Amino acid sequence: MSIKSAISLTLIGSVLLMMLLSGIDARGIAIYWGQNGNEGTLAETCATGNYDFVNIAFPPTFGNGQTPMINLAGHCDHYTNGCTGLSSDIKSCQAKGIKVMLSLGGGAGSYDLTSSKDARQVATYLWNNFLGGQSASRPFGDAALDGIDFDIEGGTNQHWGDLARYLSRYSKNGLPASPEAAGSGFIPVSDLTSQVLPAIKVL
């Protein structure tokens, strides 16, 4: 073996050993959940501590006047309200600081946005059924997801920007000044100055 390859192997071995001894920092890692019936529950996925984001995948049918449908590969049956049981799993993940998102689209299905009006209707449906809005037919019960992931692999490339803009209009800007003024999301001044603002400054 040449000296060069021996040095390369030694370097690789040293890096691997340092990673094992120091532990691997999994911050910022996302996973798609819901497309493999053998992958374990959502709560089990979050309990691994490996992920900061879990994208629930997918509603493969929406837009173009279609009744939205979610397909979670046997984890639950959306048509019989069987997915409302995921509410406690979603809340368990969020209690661990994990952001739980809904991933739109995927590689199979029938989804398309035909106009800006269609995008607005889909945004309203997503807000009321998966995010912070109100609906009698919320597929995941009273759990409110943290956001929407776009995994658009089919249809056209039209009106996705419109959908994102309409969804962003539902977001609240600013921070509540007191716990009494906030339904949720109040951040104490000490946490704001010691944790939030320094993190924003880094960005």
User: 126-157, pLDDT tens digit by residue?
Assistant: 999 999 999 998 999 999 999 999 999 988 88
Task: Give me the mean pLDDT over the 31-54 stretch.
Answer: 94
Higher per-residue pLDDT: 186 or 13: 186
Catalytic residues: 153
Following DSSP, what letter does each residue of 141-180 receive, concatenated? TT---SEEEEEE-SS-SSSHHHHHHHHHTTSPPS--SSGG
| Residue 80, pLDDT score | 82
User: 83-123, pLDDT tens digit by residue?
Assistant: 999 999 999 999 999 999 999 999 888 999 999 999 999 99
Q: Which domains does the chain have, with CATH numbers?
A: 26-171 (3.20.20.80)
Query: Any idea what DSSP says for residue 69?
Result: B
| Residue 187, pLDDT score | 66
pLDDT higher than 70, residue 58: yes
Rounded to two decimals, the pTM is: 0.73
